Structure 1
């Protein structure tokens, strides 16, 4: 099985002094995901948690909704000409009775890049396949304080073990509304890190993640918002900017979306009802002053 990191020789220049040394890099290898033996998608990922990655990917595509939907997940032997196992091909076998989606070229383009359909079609696809509604929760809905949100990025960074050695990994983490770290995964791709989180939750019977906060390093794309919605996660926060389509999806589905979460600053793009907002006077933010979704 592939390693998470690899060593490479590097020529280093520091203040005019030249030296050579080994450097630790994050590993990147392709993973082919098969469904009942048929190729479905290929993603570039950091080896590790491959079964969870495949399961989480299928949750985001509406194929899986619980651990009982999976018969087994295996690495495919004989993936190369000499019959050796590269551990870069995973086959997910569905349990009897679970519908097998129509695997087409158009579907592969959409699932791997999210650019195969226009914005409206993308929103419609998520709305029609989502198993859990985020906009139908009442008084039991989660609420966070800005102070709790502000502390999450530092907690995520402290939990990134491989990032500290390489500086080249994205991360995604699940937190409780009180800021307790539940799980964290690292990968060269933010979407893979989220899939690993969701896949682990599925295999442990924890879906939907209706009381969890998802934090991602970098920006919040439509694809990441989609994965949150499909896993039943009501709150997505990112340390950088969201895309316009991610904001549209959040507003459409009831997902709370926060961007530019840095220090004590943040922008709320949708779902501000899940944040305990206060004015300078200490009162709740007036409805007219609340950010538009």
Structure 2
């Protein structure tokens, strides 16, 4: 597969459809001006009308586990529904965006738009670990990161779902607090890919998330961020801040896995300017 070069700021034209980073599909690149984030929000809420679609279409957050077939394997992701009520704890259960992102990766590899075999991948806010598990099954060398109190469940899911006979890649778990300096093994060498699902959830976390993305990625790093359209203010805040240092493109839903898409979801690709 021919890899596309990273898009530069000067190359972007209004609503241009082009390739970004190491993703072989074409994405809709956001215009690099002050009005672009607000226009993107209006477009998403106007066309997709996320509030009219059912939330949690692919997950059951009251269940102790989520079962999902991916990469020829039957994954069983343990959840902790009782932890969901604790303030700030969202990574104890699965969310639709993780399923959408994981199945997007599988579909993109099958479609030869993405190559993960042997690539270094860092997942941010890995939660229950589904996305990282799928990336490892697709051949990536994955580091799944989250806050210290989320690692026990994450490790358990990695150990129970990734066995040597099924595994083309590898997976390890590391602590990472956004905004703090990452361990050297996360940045040397820089990741080929950074993944995140539902990591854009509060204005307070946006700057720390972007600081971490800046620290982790190089000009050849491709970032995939999937999220649910819940709060237009938070997403606009993220886009405004991100566009200062990153080129931002949106993957249209025609390129997602045909069985795992929702009008409540959005999927962005970012590359460093």
TM-score (norm 1): 0.30
Q: Which structure has the greater CA radius of gyration?
A: 1
**TM-score normalized by the length of structure 2:** 0.31
